[in-house]
Structure formats: C-alpha cells, structure tokens
Amino acid sequence: MEVETLQDAEETKNGGNDFEENGSLDPVVYQLVRVEGDGTLVPPTEDEVLQIEQFLDDKVDLPSIDDVGNVEDFFTNDCMLLKEPDFEEGYSELETNGEIHTQQFDADLEVDRLKPSDDSLDIPSKCTVVHDHKPDTEQGDNNIVHQDNASTETPKSTVLNDSCSAEKEKTDACSRSVNNSSTGPSVSGVTSSVPDFSILRGEVCLDNLTIRELQEAFRATFGRETTVKDKLWLKRRITMGLTNSCDVQSSGCVVKDYKIVCKDAKYELPTIGGIPKAEVEATSLVRYQVLGPGNERDTPSCSYYRSEDQQRSSNRLKGVSTDNDESEGTLQDEQGAAKRLRKPTKRYIEELSDTETLDSTGKLSSPGKRVAHGEVLLRQRVTPLQEVDSLSITYPTRKDTFGGFSVHVPYASRMRRGRPRRNFISFLDDDPPVECPEVQMAVETMLGKDGEHVNHKNAEKKGGHIETAEKKGGHIETADNKEIHSIEPEDICRTDAKTKTKRGLKRKHHRAWTLSEVLKLVDGVAQFGPGKWSEIRRLSFASYSYRTSVDLKDKWRNLLRASQTQLSPENDGVCPRKSNPSIIPIPPAILLRVKELAELQPQAGNLAAAIKFSGQSSKAAQGRGSSGFP
C-alpha cells in the first residue's frame, strides 16, 4: 500500500540501463500508484496525487541520484508521518513473506496481519543476529542501525537496495552476501554487474520463471537487482516496468521482447472496492507513501538501508518488525495518532464513561443515585424482597426521603454488618448496635419470618378489645399485613431517626399511621386509658418499635381532633383528607370509638382540649364543649 512514483526514466538513468540508451523509453511518465501489500497496484487517491504533484513541481529536476535520495527522504519522512499502523504491519509482513514465503504471500499476508508481531520479529531474522548481540542499544529503531553495522560483518540482510547512495556500499555488500548465501547466480551490487537482459528477450512467461529468474528479469528491467523473493511482487514490478503501467496483472504475463503481453484477460486490477477491508482502511488514513523516483527500492527491503533517520522512519514503518519495545510503543502511538482523528476520544470517552456511569448506576453504584433508583424500584416492587434489595443496594446516602422509605435504612444497616464505616456510622448515628437489632428484626420480618408479626398478634390477643377490633374490619387485617411489610423497614428508619434526633440532624422517617396501628392505639387507649402511652406502646406496639410513646400520644391527639372534626359536624362533610385518595380516611367506627374514649376518660383533658379546639374550629369547640363540658 504504498504510493510510488514510477519513473521509468529515472530508473533507467539510475541503473544506467539500456533502455535509456536505446531511447526506447517513452517520455518520462510519472504514475502514482499505491502498492498494496500483495504487490498489486492501486490507483492513488486524489490527495496522494496532489501531494505528489506538488512534490514534483518543487523538484522538477529530480534526476540526479542525490536528489533522488532527497526525494526518498522526503517521501520516506512523509510516509512516516502519514503512515498508518496497519499499513506498517502489512508492510513488514510483506517483507517477511516476501522473503520467506513467496507464492503464499497473498494468503499469508492477510493472516499475518492479524497476528501480533511475532512474525514480524522474524523479518529481520537475518539481521537479527546482530541485533541480538547488541541488545537494546537504541531500542527498536536500532535494529536497522545494527543491521547496517552488522551487514558489513554479517552478511545476512535480506534486503538490498539501491538508491540510497550513502548506504549503497553497505547495501551492496549486504546484498551480495545475501545472494551469495542464496543459491542462484549471485547478483552483485548495482554497480558491479551488468544486468542480463537476455532474460527479457524472446517470449518468456513470467509465471514460469523462478524467483531467481524473476530477479534477473527485474534487474534487466530496472537496471538493478533485487533480493525480493516474492514472485508475485517481482512479476508485478517487472511487468510494471516493462509496460510503464500500473495496470498489470499478477500472472499470466508474458514478456515478449521487452514487452509485456498479458494473456490473462481475466485479471482485474485491484481497485479500492476490491481491496481488503483492512487495506482500505489503512489507505484512507495514509496520505501516501512514496518511494523515490525510480522505485528502485524494492518495497520490502528499502527500509533496511537508510540513514538513521530514515531507518527510524522505516522502523516505524515496519513497526512490528523491529523491536517490540519501541516499535510497539511507536506503533501504538501512531495508531493512536492515526485514529485519533477519528477516535477522538474525548467525546468518545465521555460518552463511554457516561454510558458506563449509567450502567453502573443502574447496576451497582453510586449511592446517591442509587438511592433514588432504589426508591423507584421499591415503589415498583413490593414486599420484603424489595426491601432486601434496597438493603444491599442502598448505602451511603443517608437521605431522608419521605418517598424513599425504608430503603435507606436497611441498606445502611446492611452495610454496617458487612463492613462498618466510620464516616458512615458517624453520619448515621451514634450507636449502630442499637440499630442493628432492630434492623435485623426488620429484615427477618421482611424476609418472611414475621417474628414480629407473630408478636404483634400475640400482643393484640392479649387485649380482648383488640381482637374484636380486628374482627370488626375485615380490611383491617389486610392493612395490618401491609403494615408489617412496610413497617419493618421504616422501623429501621425510625431507629436512625432516633439517633439523629439527638443531633437534630435527621428526622425520623415519616411513617404514616396505618389503620391497624390506629386500631391498636385505640384499643390500647381503651384498655389502658389515655396517657398511658408508654404502656400502650409496650403492649400494643411491641412489634412497632418505630412508634414511640410520644408518637402514640401525638397520634391520639390527632385522632381526637379528627373524631371531633369529622364526627360532630357531619353536615359540613368537610373532610380535608377526603379529597386525597391516597390517604385512607379513618373509618368512622374508629373515630367513634376515639370519641367515646375521649369522652369517657378524663374530663380534665377535655376541658383543655375544648378550649384549644375552640380556636381552631368552632364546631369542634362546640362538639367539644357539648361533650366535654358538664
């Protein structure tokens, strides 16, 4: 996937090739193409073209080798900057494959890409020898450096190259050595030998050529040698060179007297559409990669022979192939950079985080939100189970929410059990121990043990009146049951409230009086008489720990008022609460009982009450007066 500027003319010049001399070359034609990993050529993108054109404009007179070098640098650098990770990887893979696997390259490439970079490490295998000897000298980049050094002593580099004048010697040496080690006719450096163009003479089917032969053909075509062993690549290159076109086939090409004859009409030039997904992706990110004029560089190998900077770049290019340490990092960085444009992160991250937060909130977490959530859940659900949930879930926030209910408390207690928290505790209340028992009881009740409930019933049974009362209203029972459930949690809350009361920080969770409670209260009053709140509480409200004697008293007071207000003046029918369905009006029966009790008991109280009530409601006062006053 690199964009190359094919300059046959340049090639020729550099190579001192016959072509130039023969004048058989067409006018210099630059074709910008991207060489895909598999060696296929793809038309450049607009950007690529533009950039290249710009470059060309700037350097109209490229031809000199030096310039070429510069050009290479230029391109190389640019490539580096613009290069995309995937591409690099592919690139390196290419090299590897090019050397080791030939025909399979295409297939392997795809696979290899997916692999981490183990393979890539192998790439420099030959050079690696040296590399190993000089571990971590300069990190990843140095691979190449070492290789250079090594190349002189250890003839193992794979690549060869060419137009890097500065490195030429080394390169040559390297190539030579490589070639020597390899089987076929060794090809000396560009400078040393003359290409055998005979190979291109007559009719030759590139497909039938061996790698060596292809290399020769390459040399004949471009005037320089190549160590690339990828048949496909070689064929493409050769074909390209001969046809001065990037539109070549990968196979089925026959060279006939220096001209390419494609027999395989089927071949389709890979287009972007046909490019593997990964490649396309990479392509989109890569501005361009160019090889200097005269693509003399064998794609795969060029990176090994460059100045340090170049090498550096090349390393990056190859990324994977060199050192894991830096390469990897670099690679990642580049990837990041490459994708940053797209990934952009901030927003992305934020979104993610938000999502996570939401999720977490929903699932686990933040107390504050949790609480609210818990409330909702509680409302939706009913009974003990929910209680439990809330317990486990809710935690830190000690919110005093009316709607929230018991949720908070349970959880709190739960938390303590699990792990006591200083802060939390301090916030909640002074002595957890006290709470715990209650909580546990509540929990138990909620869980279905109903220990309290039983107690409660027992208590009720104690009072004959109570039983009667329950029997009176069938609905009462129901109410009672409801109470129990709802109560438990609240009970806990209450505890908290108490504790808090001391501080004045928190308020006892508001707990509406249930019908059953009222009944019990009334019964209790009837039984023990008004003012015996503590007793009533002990006996009748044993199970309702959250109801204090004060509560009872208050409630009774309210009941009295209610009874007076509602019962006496029925005519008015002004039942303030009546409008609100949620509030269950106290059954007249109860009110009656209350009234009776009030009348029966202490007159003194009545008196005072009468006086006060008069201020509030004339009717109440009247009722009061009538009954209370002698």
Task: Report how many helices (DSSP H) and strands (DSSP E) the chain contains, helices first.
Answer: 30, 7
Q: In the complex with DNA, which residue's Cβ is closer, 67 or 554?
A: 554
Long-range contacts: 323-332, Cβ < 8 Å, 24+? Answer: 323/136, 323/139, 323/140, 323/141, 323/142, 323/143, 324/117, 324/121, 324/140, 325/136, 325/139, 325/140, 326/139, 326/140, 326/141, 327/117, 327/140, 328/117, 328/140, 330/140, 331/85, 331/88, 331/89, 332/85
Is 494 a residue that touches DNA (CB under 7 A)?
yes
Residue placing its CB nearer to DNA in the complex, 218 or 533? 533
Per-residue contact string for residues 577-606; x = within reach of DNA by CB under 7 A:
----------------------------x-
**What 8-state DSSP symbol labels residue 28?**
P
Q: Closest CB to DNA among 143 and 514?
A: 514
Pairing of strands 203-205, 253-256: antiparallel
> Which of the stretches 67-75, 196-204, 518-526, 530-538 binds DNA when contact is defined by CB under 7 A?
530-538
Binding positions for DNA, 169-198, rule CB under 7 A: none
* Whether 157 contacts 304, CB under 8 Å: yes
CB of 499 to DNA, least distance (A): 10
For residue 461 the two structure tokens come to 């049974």
Name, in order, each residue with C-beta under 8 angstroms of 207's C-beta and a sequence gap of 6 or more: 235, 251, 252, 253
Nearer to DNA, 395 or 546 (CB): 546
Total residues interacting with DNA, rule: CB under 7 A: 27
> For residue 220, which amino acid is it?
A
Part in contact with DNA (CB under 7 A); list of ranges 18-26, 372-380, 527-535, 572-580 = 527-535
Among 19, 218, 546, 613, binds DNA (CB under 7 A): 546
Which one, 227 or 406, has the nearer CB to DNA?
406
Residue among 292, 530, 623, 628 that touches DNA (CB under 7 A): 530
Q: Which helix (H) or strand (E) holds 486?
A: helix 474-503
Alpha-carbon distance of 455 to 514, in angstroms, equals 17
Nearer to DNA, 47 or 400 (CB): 400
Residue whose CB is less far from DNA, 270 or 530? 530
What is the distance in angstroms between the CA of the first residue and the CA of the last residue of the chain? 110
**Is the Cβ of residue 208 or residue 582 nearer to DNA in the bound state?**
582
Tell me the closest approach of the beta carbon of residue 502 to DNA, in angstroms: 8
CB of 551 to DNA, least distance (A): 6
What sign does the dihedral 543-547-550-555 (CA atoms) show?
A: negative
**Phi, psi at 31, each rounded to 5°:** -125, 125
Query: What character string, x for contact with DNA (CB under 7 A) and - otherwise, covers 497-516?
Result: x---x--x-xxxxxxxx---
Beta bridge partner(s), residue 6: 31
Question: What is the pattern of x (binds DNA, CB under 7 A) and - over residues 549-568?
Answer: xxx-xx--------------
Residues engaged in binding DNA (CB under 7 A):
494, 497, 501, 504, 506-513, 530-535, 546, 549-551, 553-554, 605, 608, 612
